[in-house]
Amino acid sequence: MLCGTRAAAAGLGWLLLRSGSGSGSGRHGSGMAARVWLEPGYKCLSDEPVRVRVGGLSPLQPVTMRAGLSDEKGETFGSAAFYRADERGELDLNRSPSLGGHYTGTEPMGLFWSLTPVKPFSRLVKRDVAGSPLRVHIEVFDGHDGDPQERPLASCVNERWFMKEGVTRIPVREGRVRGVLFVPPGDGPFPGIIDMYGSVGGVVEHRASLLASRGFLTLALGYFGYDDLPKDFLNLDLEYFEEAVNLLRHHSKVKGPGVGAIGISKGGDLVLSMTTFIPHVIAAVSIGGCNANTLGNLHYKNITLSGLGITLDRAKFCESNLVDISEVTNNPKDDENKDCIIPLEKAEGHFLFVVGEDDKNWNTPLFAQQAVERLKENGKNNYEILTYPESGHLLEPAYFPFCYASFHRLVGLPVIWGGQMKPHSIAQIDLWPRIQRFLKKHLEKQSKL
């Protein structure tokens, strides 16, 4: 079977990152000095937009805008779009439409969210969130088919940081709890959040650090594949997560008594279980999560939720060794899976279900529908649901580059995450502030129990 790979992943061998390039200008055929600059400045948080402007071009001059970065592993990501200057020889990406390339239309941040790996199926993950930014090199070339090995007409560098000045990063190794705590500047109190990712394992820090930069005291929590934690999640006990909740809510700068939780993929069903069974988790954001406990067993006191199984025969093998696993996970409502379903109706907290309609990791739209039906059947209305067409599994903070496919730790091969680049990226821009508003609504106005 052939599955549609991303055409954008091909043909990026042209990308040349100039390690010494900064803001600058050059002369082109007309003898004018071109310049590219960013507003409000060259440094920002990675979830903030910048305005890209170019001046000093010829009237109606065709140009190619290119962006590129190298991650901490040396993997290179690049994007390109074709533009035409206005009658004054200027470009403003807030107003000027792209005529082709990685995206079309007026997309002010298109060069950033369309950054695509030169090596297929690489996933951009920022590990050192405290010490270095993502440095995105932006270059302007003459024409729509010019040789990128030529000297650019103009170039600059955008430093995209993950920690606001004053945010403190604190490694956590207390009791059984392992993770990293991010504390906003100031005296607080701040809403407390536990942040978890999925089968990637370890501790993923980039979303937690951004949440702290937005005023949430956030614990990026590891639960397997990190330090002395279990090597897998085949048997997890919810008391570990409860210990993390208590550690967080007893922090002197956390506004209690309740805290929130955000998780994606496997982390998405874990935050649903936490809100269901742990009284002090009062708000949960489940991104691409399941309404059942997935894969391994989850234990809490005298309760065990079995792990929802998979049927490997339903995997679809595509070109380039890609695997489509969207139909592999079993249906929670099948009779044999009733012991896997999370009893969400027991929760007193609030849920935000986030659904990418083109999620290829598993059937997120079905899982969210079943979760909402169960809550309604039990007279509960403590939920919100956000559904994004043509969006995939990996919904990240705003402006984070789109990832269509990457290596899956459990599968052992690259898998398709789903989504189309432009609508998925627009969904991320819409989702990120909505997540923050949901968490603030339920955490900032709580009263003491």
CA geometry: angle 385, 390, 396, nearest 5 deg: 65
Helix 238-249 vs helix 266-277: crossing angle, to nearest 10: 70
CA angle 167, 173, 179 (to 5 degrees): 55
Is 359 a known active-site residue?
A: yes
Q: What are the tens digits of pLDDT across the range 58-97? A: 999 999 999 999 999 999 999 999 999 999 999 999 999 9
For position 321, what pLDDT does the model report? 83
- Per-residue pLDDT at 263: 98
pLDDT grade, residue 198 (50/70/90)?
A: very high
What pLDDT is recorded for position 304?
A: 96
**Residue 270 pLDDT > 50:** yes
pLDDT tens-digit profile of 101-149?
Answer: 999 999 999 999 999 999 999 999 899 999 999 999 999 999 997 566 6
Give strand pairing partners of 286: 263, 353
Q: Is the pLDDT of residue 228 over 90?
A: yes
> pLDDT at position 301, please?
95
At residue 257, the pLDDT reads: 94
Q: How far is CA 328 from CA 200, 246, 316, 363, in A?
A: 18, 36, 9, 9
Active-site pick, 265, 273, 406, 425: 265
Task: Render pLDDT for 209-220 as a digit per residue (tens, 0 to 9).
Answer: 999 999 999 999
Cis peptide before 414 (omega within 30 of 0): no
Q: How confident is the model at residue 324 (pLDDT cuts 50, 70, 90)?
A: very high
pLDDT of 145 reads 75
* pLDDT of res. 233: 86
pLDDT of residue 4: 40
Per-residue confidence (pLDDT) for residue 26, from 0 to 100: 54
For residue 447, what are the CA distances in angstroms to 245, 255, 444? 18, 9, 9
pLDDT of residue 29: 46
Q: Which of 350, 393, 408, 424 is catalytic?
A: 393
The stretch 279-297 carries a mean pLDDT of 97
Q: How many helices (H) and strands (E) does the chain have?
A: 6, 26
Q: Judge whether 30 counts as a catalytic residue.
A: no
Measured CA to CA in angstroms, residue 360 lies from 6, 102, 112 at distances of 14, 22, 23
For residue 42, pLDDT beyond 80: yes
Q: Measured in whole angstroms, how far is the alpha carbon of residue 258 from the centre of its chain?
A: 25
**Each residue of 343-372: pLDDT tens digit?**
999 999 999 999 999 999 999 999 999 999
Q: What is the per-residue pLDDT for 7? A: 38
Average pLDDT (317-339) is 93
Tokens of 428: 């991320």
- In 3D space, the residue among 67, 111, 60, 64 whose CA is nearest the CA of residue 90 turns out to be 60
Look over the chain and give the mean of its residue pLDDT values, rounded to a whole number: 92
Q: Measured between alpha carbons, how far is 401 from 424 in angstroms, rounded to an integer?
A: 10
Whether 147 is a known active-site residue: answer: no
Nearest to 382 by CA among 281, 239, 245, 294: 281
**H-helix or E-strand containing 373?**
helix 364-377
Q: What are the tens digits of pLDDT across the range 15-28?
A: 333 333 344 555 45
What's the whole-number mean pLDDT along residues 233-262?
96
The pLDDT assigned to 410 comes to 84
For the chain, the first-to-last Cα distance in angstroms comes to 57
Q: What are phi and psi of 107, to 5 degrees?
A: -130, 95
The one catalytic residue in 114, 324, 359, 425 is 359
Query: CA-CA-CA-CA torsion for 334, 335, 340, 342, nearest 10 degrees?
Result: 80
* Burial of residue 13, with CB atoms counted within 10 A of its CB: 0-12 exposed, 13-18 middle, 19 or more buried: exposed
- pLDDT of 447 reads 64
| DSSP three-state, residue 333 | coil
E-strand spans in 235-390? 235-237, 259-264, 281-287, 297-300, 303-305, 316-317, 323-324, 350-356, 383-388
- Coil, strand or helix at 211: helix
